[in-house]
Structure 1
Amino acid sequence: VTVSATSPALQVPQVTDVANQQGEYRLTPLPIGTYTVVYTLQGFQTMRREEVRLTAGFTARVDMTMKVGTLNESVTVTGAAPVVDVNSTTTRTELTRETLELIPTSRAGLQSVLMQAPGARTNLDTGSGVTANPTFRAFGRSYEAWVTVEGFPTTSPKSALQSTAQYFDYESFEETSVQTVGNNAETPNAGLNLNIILKSGGNDFHGQGVYTVTAQKLQWNNLDQTLINAGLGSPNKIATRWDADAGIGGPILHDKLWFFFTPRLHREDAQIAGVIKPDGTAGVDPVTQFHSTEKINYQLNPSNKFIGFTQAFHRDSQSGDTPLVPWNSRQHQIYGQQTSKIEWQLVRNNKYVSVQAGEWAFHLDRSGFDPTNISTFDDTTRRATGQNIDASTTTFEMRRAVTGVFSWYKADWLGGNHAFKFGLDYWDSHADRRSQDRGAATNMQLHFANGVPTTINALNYPVTPFSHVRNVPTFVQDSWTLARRLTLNLGVRYDHNWAYLPMQTRAASAPPLDTFYPAGTFPEVHFKTFNPVTPRAHLAWDVRGNGKTVVKGGWGRFRHMWNSDEINMANRVTFLTSTFLWHDLNGNRLFDPGEVNFDPAGSDFVSQSALGASAATSNAISNPNLKQPGSHEAYVSVEQQLVANFAVRATGIYSKDTGTYRILNTKRPYETYNIDVSRPISAPNGTADPTLGMLPIRTFPHALAGLANQVPMLINDAKSDAGYTSVELAASRRLANRWMMQASYSATRLDVPYVSNSMITSGSACIGCVDLTTYDPNAEIFASNKTWEYLTRVSGYYQLPYGVSAAANYENRSGTRWARTQTFANVPEIGTIVLRVEPIGSRRLPNTNLLNLRFEKSIPGLAPGHKLALRASMFNALNANTPLTVQQNTGPAFGNVLTYMPPRILEFGVVYSY
């Protein structure tokens, strides 16, 4: 039997294979798209199967029964494309172009993608088209996400953080694949895995233009008396918001050279709740952002193909002002991101080769609006004033990569068919932060405790650091299919992962910090090289052999790779913050010479941190006995096709961390914290309440104070290993007969022994913090998180008569579990420390209920292939005003709402495509 597939997605006329003696055939690799498959054999009817939809990573098993027929007799079958992948062993969510375009979202990059994926807990999508830096969180695990664009890695070297500078244009996506469980040996991390497929050209010119706009008069008000009583005096409002996008693709040479290009411009001026300008008017933050995507597909000959793309992102914005950070202390931010790659593909019979090379680069420049006033921060009220503490800094990150994959299909060997895949990559990356002298605002920040001067943070500006994190991974993967019903996906991965700091030089800081931060050159520092071998074993069992009921499951071991922030703890040229006791001798609440002893061995020195962390993390050394952290994951899943185009899934997952990092001060080990300096726990409003008892704070002897006694290093702590137990239920109906639907429910039980130190606080610098728990008793006070989190999503689309369509996207997520904190000042040797005074989960924010709606009307009478539609979208249709963050620290403002869900807003748009 000769089997041929044709599709507009192909740059060759057709792809053909001849079935073997068992009647098995294989057409690969095929780009995503919709195919017509034709089966021919002399003396038999010609069979055609149409509308076979292929999504990214989906293996479609399309069976056909041949019947004896007469000359030129043919039979056409439509609407029978499979919806359950009987070969893949992952729980993956494919978001096709229809889903991406029809479900109501703000089209704000990966955030709008993750809002549609079961189990993924990301930023709320409340209508802003500003491309968000998404939060990657799936089944309780916030870290270790892995993002690729058409297989090319773009994940930041700060991959241990839950959001890492992934700014991509939603309108450029042809399709996305979100994988939360069952990552095979090709994937380095255990966490969420997201791959983006960009739009391409074709043999016919095609394009789309979208313009959306809203205004303040189209927005409701949801600031009620409850929020006003909780400290908010002004609402969230939109002064201006519009978005313009245009895309065009087509042939330069038919069947040979295709192009695609799309620019996108977005403008938004947003009034920030609770922010008032000095003149009494509401504070408005302006944002202007621009995306552009260019892509080329070149089919050199039937066997060789080249693909190249570049996507740029630029944003000019003002932000950072909150009810705790006044208007003059906001910051000006200029973003830039560039992702580029070129790929060569070779297809020879049953072999396939892909080689990619490219670069992902990101930078963020920050400046302020109060250049003559020193920055201040109150550790009790959490309020900031003066020049923004992040002003005069630039984050710059980069990942260069070369990736190679070789696939080989071997049929009828060892009792089955084998799809072998071999990979070899090279990654070179860094993530650093340079700074400039802050001028009249000084390289310092004054700290207070409820208005009383306590400490000074001294910054080591100017610095231009550099770090290197490199990895050479290789993997072998075999998808072994036995008797067409059982598929074993067996793989093993090896990584050669090393990190180092090159020799670096810094200039002296401006007086009076020039003696504490003198000019110097620092030698190269190397860290332990890891060579982990991580096996993965998963299976998929087609229970009845009809491709409709599949049981999947398996186990995998994963390892955490070095990231830049971990090694920058040892970088003397990275961004450092040194804390000193401050003696405001004249009571003017300003720093004057002689009020601080800047001697690192003096009595005023408290600690020094790297990258804005709240703990003593700088001056680190490499640990030669360090073991590589990692995790184990096991899961089982059942997928069932109920009717044509509709499938359901139930999944149970358990994952366990191993070798978790903590930060040990080698000069002040755990047992040296043997001096009891317990402090009374205050009432939530800050007043004394003897019934609440004492908090058991510990400190160390004075002889162990000073910078010379701060020599931290990473260690492994088995009692810190976290566990996550999850269940997921999902249903999906792809677009057919005018409607589609997706629904999911997930629940996760967290068992995290020691939650990381609270690193990010309003007004306190933290850009890429070392998000690790220090190894001392104070870090373990009320540190465990043994709570549940829940997530429900339902989305759908229905095409009504007369060219009208309606779509909805609903989410219910459990509110954040949290604990009250309290600031303790003048703690011997420690200075000021903020600690929890109750278990995590003692308090919780309300559940959020977010409903977005969209209605669209197509205008009739256009030429065939052309579409003009008018669109109305309503975000937060329920007009919910759920608090999203609150003041957690003890004091008069405890419990005050800092941010809440923006009000209902109506957006109008026009869409033209051809």
Structure 2
Amino acid sequence: MLIGSFSFAQESGSIKGTVKDAEGNALPGVTVTLTGSKIPTQTFVTPESGSFRFMTLPLANDYTIKFELQGFKTNIREQQTIVFGRDNIYDITMEQSAIEEEVTVVGQSPVIDTKKTQVGVNITEEMILSLPTSRNAWVMMNLVPGMLLAKEDVGGSESGQQYGYTGHGSGGQDNTWNIDGANVTDMSALGAAQAYYNIPSYEEVQVNYGNNDVKSQTGGVQINLVTRRGGNAFSGMFYMEAEDKAWQSENVPAELDPYYGTPGVDRVYTYGVNFGGPIAKDKAWFYGSYGIQDLNIITLAGRSDKTWLVNGYAKLNFQITSSTRAELFASYDSKLKWGRNDYFEATELSAETYWNQDGPSPTYKLELDQSFGNLYLNFKGIYLKNNFYLHPFESAAGLPMTESYYPVYFVSGSMDDYGTERTNLNFIFTGNYFAENVLGGDHEFKFGVDYLESTVTSYDYYEGNVWRYYYGPDDAYPTGQYWELDVKRDVNLSQSYRRYGIFIQDTISFGRLAVNLGFRYDNETSFVENQKVPACPLLPSLLPALEIAKLDPGAAYREYSPRISFVYDISGTGKDVLKLSLARYGAQSGYSMASFVNPMGWGGIGVYWQDLNGDDAVTSDELFGSDADGNLTSDINPDTILWSWGVNVYDPTDVEPFNKIDPDYNSPLLDELTASYERELFTDFRASLEFYYKKSHRNIRDIGMNPDGSLDSKDNYYQYDTEANTEYPVYAKYNDFFYTYRTNFTKRFSEYLAGQLVLVKRLSNRWMLDASVTYSSWKDKYNDEFIDPQNLTYYDGAANSWMNARWQVKIAGLYQFPYAINFSMVFRAREGYVRGTYANFPNVPNVGNRAVYGSPGGGGIYGDERLPNFYEFDFRLEKVFQIAEKMRVTLAADCFNALNSAQTLAQQNLLTSSIYGRATNILNPRVFRFGARFEF
């Protein structure tokens, strides 16, 4: 089940609480005994305050807590569940008794955390295995309240490839990925994972999206994958599931049938095994997992997208002494893909315009726990290496990449040949210290150091060193055809990144009130390492051979991040709680500063091309610039090129940085206010009413710059014409600026407001439920802070992102019928995503082609045009055969997109296209999956 809570960032879970007598007085001397299948027996004797605690407990649902004191009834809590990062807080009342008696309570773990305010959910094993999902991390996130994702998965139709997501007003670049609390985020693609993980091999997935713990640097979505762990009894699982095109319906609407085939699955086969147990009871344990996903997805255009994923890990846990624990972990994640492309709307692709992908990603982790009385220490060290390579189809050799905007949008030619090797090394040291009855309250101090070091080396080669753009017939050009192209140089990249952070937090308890005071500081830097590139054969004078030693950008992110929150237990029972939190976060920079000043990164020059000899091959004598009067000229120089990026056009052989960074440049900031009211309506059922306000400001601002340091300004722009379809002005420039000055916006910001109702019913009494309703507003506000006025009216004050659904409804539930038959379902509905409709305006002075955004009838703002509202319903039937007490077989059938909806997910947005408004992506059709699972 999905457990909603306001908690995060412990190493695992914990049990805490206070023991009192019937009159509410603290009871010292109570012996508290904790037992479970994954730990040796632990004991704690309560001090004068009556408090007890058991820290860093592995995830399990079979813990027993026993409270004993002479003259009192023994109190026992059985089948208590621990989830990652959450405190189970108990208020135990012991009754006096002259004879030995026991009071036993089964289940009923607390559903509300009365100390913390972090907003998130724990997706437990029950949800991973028993709900109708394709069991990848992005589908799991799509069940989380308020989360928005870039794609819609039907039974694995989007498996095998990462895609964008955002949660409650935070930027996707600030999302982080963790394994058991250690950072594995891809610093080269901020917000992305380093590997495509096999979710059934993990015990739990934690997703946080608000008031992140002081251990978390950013305010983005925090994803944490919790590995399984061996216990004192052998346990394991074998699973296999299959989907096939024979079990799939058709749903292509009649109006699309002449153009497209039936999208969906050709096959989706997943199978794997998990197994673990004791090496030496109460002393050492092992666990291992291995899984394969064999995917072949058919696109709307009828092309095959094949993926083969192999994932495995091994884990060893040691109880070295009663106060010392250690863990070793190693994993291997490999992805092979045939037919990858990066075009969202462009279903019209030539048969050769794809990549084949390969490359493994190993990970290694060491973790140590040590306790000294009231002091608990944890150390994590994790190292990973992510290698992958994108190879263009061999059939595309000799065909330059070409994007054609006439008569319809069509992409052809060879994708670039790309390879990368990325490493992460993360050390985290954390301490927790408990001090009771100090300054009128009980204190839990958390403190620590967080160090992350990453490197990236990449190559990127383009066929013919060009990328072509075709805009249709135009008599103004010698051949009667309007072509622009990028002349690109080869890329051989090497960069490094370092971040260190320190943090401290005090959780103070004053009776029913808990106050969290936290502070974090981070420093981020990145560097260009040794690099060498050859000259570009088409324009060697402007793109010559270069070589550089290590380069320091001379800039850093220095982030001061205060956090404060309040929790008030209204009734004193932990069942009626108010929460309020305020926080400021910095951003993660990755390699952005090094990349910005790197004189040998991705770079190129924009020119006109005319195929004078009609051979469809680009040669140097067919390249043209534009003179001061707008006429074509064969003299290609800094004053006649259309544009450039990443190139020092005025001194091409100089390897000093030509882009500059403001001396006061610093990290973007996210300010956050969250408030909630949580109430336990009845046993195992919680309702939350949540409110969010987030403001993203001091964001990155890039301004055009000349070699003399002069900056672009509003005075450089003038209205050149009016675009007829949108009725919006087209702006030209008097002068072009080929370099860039990076600073921060001071007035422009984005603002997020949301209200959310969440209902969570744990699995008990045969049923569980997770439901949420979210309403939000997320907008950009320029506050007159702009230079180029193009599309200003369209975007200022409008939707912040195309993934901008103002309302969402999510329901997931399970019911256990007699005869061990289980029914589960998932229903999601949301407002349709935003469409950015536009028209191209060619030959704009000092610009070239302008994309002018606006509504079809003229005017409009971003967000006026939307896709149809989205909904999807999936269900699952299971039959469980109980072979022995702890051995069972489950047979299951899932139905995805049960209503066989053909929801439009993307449309052609070019207003002048002959297929404007036609769907270019629809929801995949209904498909059935059958599977079996053996557990012991």
Tell me the TM-score normalized by structure 2: 0.88
SS of match in other structure, 1:569: helix
- Pairing of 1:656-735 with structure 2 (within 5 A): 656-667=695-706, 669-671=711-713, 674-683=716-725, 693-701=727-735, 705=736, 709-735=737-763
Contact kept in structure 2, 1:89 and 1:538, CA below 8 Å: yes
* 2:331 pairs with 1:301: no
What is the correspondence of 1:279-318 to structure 2 with a 5 Å cutoff?
Answer: 282-317=302-337, 318=339
Q: 1:635 touches 1:651 (CA, 8 Å); kept in 2?
A: yes
Counterpart of 1:857, as a letter, is: K
The answer to whether 1:374 aligns with 2:374 is no
Whether 2:920 is the aligned partner of 1:898: answer yes
**Cα-to-partner distance string for 1:485-510 (whole Å, 9 max, x where unaligned):** 1111110111122222234322333x
Q: Corresponding residue for 2:622?
A: 595
> Secondary structure of the equivalent of 1:99?
helix
CA–CA distance in 2 between the matches of 1:542 and 1:443?
A: 65
Cα separation, 1, equivalents of 2:720 and 2:333: 51
Contact 2:558 / 2:666 at 8 angstroms: preserved in 1?
no
- 1:210 and 2:231 aligned: no
Q: Which residue of 1 aligns with 2:447?
A: 422
For residue 752 of structure 1, what is the aligned residue in structure 2?
780
Structure 2: which 5+ runs fail to align?
1-28, 474-480, 626-634, 648-656, 800-804, 856-860
| Maintained 8 Å contact 2:419/2:458 | yes
- Letter of the structure 1 residue corresponding to residue 181 of structure 2: G
- Which letter does structure 2 place at the counterpart of 1:414? L
Correspondent of 2:368 among 344, 349, 355: 344
Instruction: Note the C-alpha offset of 1:374.
Output: 1.8
TM-fit CA distance, 1:350: 1.3
What's the CA shift for 1:830? 1.3
Deviation (angstroms), 1:57: 2.0
Task: Please give the secondary structure, in 1, of the residue aligned with 2:642.
Answer: strand
Tell me if the contact between 2:791 and 2:853 (Cα under 8 Å) persists in the aligned partners: no
> What whole-Å deviation, never above 9, does each CA across 1:765-815 have from its counterpart, x for those lacking one?
xxxxxxxx9852336352235346222100001111112111001111211
Name the CA distance, whole Å, in 2 between partners of 1:696 and 1:182. 43
**Which of 178, 182, 204 is the matching residue for 1:148?**
178
Shift of 1:566: 4.5
Name the aligned partner's letter for residue 421 of structure 1. K
Q: How does 1:172-211 map to 2 (within 5 A)?
A: 172-211=201-240
For the residue of structure 2 that corresponds to 1:111, the secondary structure is: helix
User: What is the Cα deviation at residue 406 of structure 1?
Assistant: 0.9
Change (3 A) 1:630 1:672: closer
1:722-871 paired onto structure 2 within 5 Å: 722-753=750-781, 775-778=787-790, 780=792, 782-784=794-796, 786-787=798-799, 789-838=806-855, 839-860=861-882, 862-871=883-892
Equivalences for residues 216-231 of structure 1 within 5 A: 216-228=245-257
Aligned: 1:626 with 2:668: no
Give the superposition deviation at 1:550: 0.7
CA deviation vs aligned residue, 1:461-499 (integer Å, no higher than 9, x gap): 1x221222211100001111111x111111011112222
Distance in 1 between residues matched to 2:749 and 2:876, nearest whole Å: 44
User: Does 2:694 correspond to 1:655?
Assistant: yes
What is the CA-CA distance between 1:673 and the residue it aligns to? 5.2
Deviation, 1:222, is 0.5
Alpha-carbon separation, structure 2, partners of 1:628 and 1:543: 39
Closer, same or farther in 2 for the Cα pair 1:453/1:338, shift >3 Å? farther
Q: Contact 1:167/1:337 (CA < 8 Å) preserved in 2? A: no
Pairs within 5 Å for 1:562-573: 562-573=589-600
**Structure 1 residue 20: Cα displacement:** 2.3
Q: For residues 258-657 of structure 1, what are the structure 2 equivalents within 5 Å?
A: 258-274=285-301, 282-317=302-337, 318-320=339-341, 322-369=346-393, 370-379=396-405, 383-389=409-415, 391-431=416-456, 433-436=458-461, 438=462, 441-450=463-472, 452-461=481-490, 463-483=491-511, 485-509=512-536, 511-523=537-549, 524-586=551-613, 589-596=616-623, 601-602=637-638, 604-609=640-645, 619-657=658-696
- Taking the TM superposition and a 5 Å limit, the aligned residue runs for 1:21-100 are 21-34=48-61, 35-100=63-128
The aligned amino acid for 2:811 is V
The Cα of 1:602 is off from its aligned counterpart by 4.7
- Conserved 8 A contact 2:902-2:922: yes
Partner of residue 887, structure 1: 908
CA offset at residue 627 of structure 1?
A: 3.3
Aligned residue for 2:676, secondary structure, equals: strand
Change (3 A) 1:754 1:565: farther
SS in 2 for 1:777: coil
Partner SS state of residue 133, structure 2: coil
Amino acid at match of 1:679: D
SS in structure 2 at match of 1:678: strand
CA 1:672 to 1:98, structure 2 compared with 1: closer, same or farther past 3 Å?
A: closer
| Cα pair 2:349 2:412 within 8 Å, conserved | no
Matched residues in 2 for 1:9 and 1:777: separation? 65
SS of match in other structure, 2:53: coil
Q: Would you say how many aligned residue pairs link Structure 1 and Structure 2?
A: 857
Separation in structure 2 between the aligned mates of residue 905 and residue 604 of structure 1, nearest angstrom: 56
- Residue by residue over 1:555-587, the C-alpha shift from the partner in whole angstroms, topping out at 9 and shown as x without a partner, is 111112322245312212222232112233345
Maintained 8 Å contact 1:29/1:352: no
Q: Distance in 1 between matches of 2:269 and 2:203?
A: 23
Q: CA deviation at 1:418?
A: 0.6
Q: What SS does the aligned partner of 1:241 have? A: strand
SS in 2 for 1:295: strand
Contact 2:242 2:268 in 1 (8 A): yes
- The residue type equivalent to 1:361 in the other structure is K
CA contact (8 A) 2:400 2:464 kept: yes
Q: Letter of the 1:873 partner, please give it.
A: D
Q: Could you tell me how far apart the structure 2 residues matched to 1:556 and 1:488 are?
A: 14
Please state how far the C-alpha of 1:725 moved relative to its aligned partner.
0.7
In the alignment, is the contact (CA less than 8 A) between 1:410 and 1:417 conserved in 2?
A: yes
Taking a change above 3 Å as real, the CA distance of residues 508 and 315 of structure 1, as seen in their structure-2 partners, is same
**Is contact 1:662-1:775 (8 Å) kept?**
no
Per-residue deviation at 1:597? 5.0
Alpha-carbon deviation of 1:422? 0.5
Aligned match of 1:157:
187
Q: In the alignment, residue 446 of structure 2 is paired with which amino acid? A: K
- Among 271, 276, 279, the residue aligned to 1:249: 276
TM-aligned CA deviation for residue 70 of structure 1: 4.5
With over 3 angstroms needed to count, the CA separation of the structure-2 counterparts of 1:786 and 1:837, relative to structure 1, is closer
Q: Structure 1-normalised TM-score? A: 0.90
After superposition, the C-alpha distances for 1:33-72 in whole angstroms (9 at most, x for unaligned) are 2311111112222221112222122222222222233454
Note the alpha carbon deviations across 1:202-241, whole angstroms, 9 max, x for none: 1111111111112111000010114347xx4212032222
Shift of the 432–660 alpha-carbon distance from structure 1 to 2, 3 Å rule, reads: farther
Alpha-carbon shift at residue 288 of structure 1 (Å) = 1.3
SS state of the match for residue 782, structure 1? helix
Runs of 5+ consecutive residues of structure 1 not aligned to the other structure: 275-281, 612-617, 684-691, 756-772
Q: Secondary structure, in 3 states, of the residue corresponding to 1:442?
A: helix
In 2, Cα distance between the equivalents of 1:183 and 1:381? 49
In 2, Cα distance between the equivalents of 1:378 and 1:165?
A: 33
Q: What is the CA-CA distance between 1:603 and the residue it aligns to?
A: 5.2
Is the contact between residue 507 and residue 519 of structure 1 (CA under 8 Å) also seen in structure 2? yes
| Range 555-564 or range 164-173, more displaced | 164-173
Alpha-carbon distance in 1 for matches of 2:140, 2:166: 13
